[in-house]
Chains A and B, each alone.
Chain A
Amino acid sequence: MHCLWCDQKILPEVTWLTFLTPHKIKVLCEECKEKFSFIVGPVCIRCNRPMEGKGKTCYDCERWIAQNPSLECNISVFEYNSFMQEVISKWKYRGDYVLAELFREDVQQRFDEAFSHLNNLVVVPIPLSEERLQERGFNQAEAIASFVNYPSENAIKRIHTEKQSKKSRKERMTSTNPFQIQKPQRSTIVLIDDIYTTGRTLHHAAEVLKLSGAQEVHAFTLIRG
Chain B
Amino acid sequence: MKFAQVISSLYSYFNSSFDWIPSTSTAKSHSPNVYPSLSGKLLLEKEVEMNKEEKEMLLSQGLLQRVPVIEDYVWGYLCRRCGNKKRRWFAGLPCDCGEECVYCRNCIEMGRVSTSSHFLVWTGSEPKWINDHVLKWDGELTFYQKRASEEIKSAIDSKNDLLVWAVCGAGKTEMLFEGLSHALAEGKRVCIATPRADVVKELFPRFQEVLPYVDMVALYGGSQHVDEGAQLVLSTTHQLLRYAQAFDVLIIDEVDAFPFYADSSLLWASRRAKKKESATIYLTATPRIRFKILSKLKKLQTVFVPQRFHGHPLPVPQFVSCFGWKSSLDKNTLPRKFKSWLHEKEAGTRRVLVFAPTIALAEQLADLIPNGVYVHSEDENRDEKVQQFREHEISILISTSILERGVTFPSIDVAVFHAGHRNFDEAALVQIVGRAGRSASDPNGDVVFFHDGKSEAMVEARYSILNMNDRSRKGER
Contact = CB atoms under 8 A, between A and B. Distances in A.
B112 A98 contact: no
A96 B105 CA distance: 7
B95 A98 contact: no
A138 interface: yes
Contacts of A97: 91-94, 103
A169 interface: no
A56 interface: no
A197 to B, nearest CB: 25
Nearest to B101: A137
A160 interface: no
A23 interface: no
B88 A137 contact: no
Interface string A82-96: 000000001000111
Contacts of A98: 91-93, 105
Contact of B112 (A2, A134, A137): A137
Contacts of A95: 93, 103, 108, 112
B109 interface: yes
Nearest to A1: B88
Interface in B66-115: 88, 91-96, 103, 105, 108-109, 111-112, 114
Nearest to A137: B93
A98 B90 CA distance: 9
Interface residues of B, number: 14
Contacts of B105: 96, 98
Contact of A138 (B88, B94, B109, B111): B94
Contact of A96 (B88, B95, B108): B108
Interface in B196-236: none
Nearest to B89: A7
A93 to B, nearest CB: 10
Contact of B93 (A90, A94, A134, A138): A138
Nearest to A96: B108
Interface in B341-375: none
A126 to B, nearest CB: 17
Contacts of B109: 94
Given A94-B108, A94-B109, A97-B103, A2 B88 contact: yes
B112 A94 contact: yes
A42 B106 CA distance: 40
Interface in B97-142: 103, 105, 108-109, 111-112, 114
A65 to B, nearest CB: 38
A222 B91 CA distance: 22
Nearest to B91: A98
A2 B94 CA distance: 23
A133 to B, nearest CB: 9
Interface of B: 88, 91-96, 103, 105, 108-109, 111-112, 114
29 contacts: A2-B88, A90-B108, A94-B108, A94-B109, A94-B111, A94-B112, A95-B93, A95-B103, A95-B108, A95-B112, A96-B91, A96-B108, A97-B91, A97-B92, A97-B93, A97-B94, A97-B103, A98-B91, A98-B92, A98-B93, A98-B105, A134-B96, A137-B93, A137-B94, A137-B95, A137-B96, A137-B112, A138-B93, A138-B94
Interface of A: 2, 90, 94-98, 134, 137-138
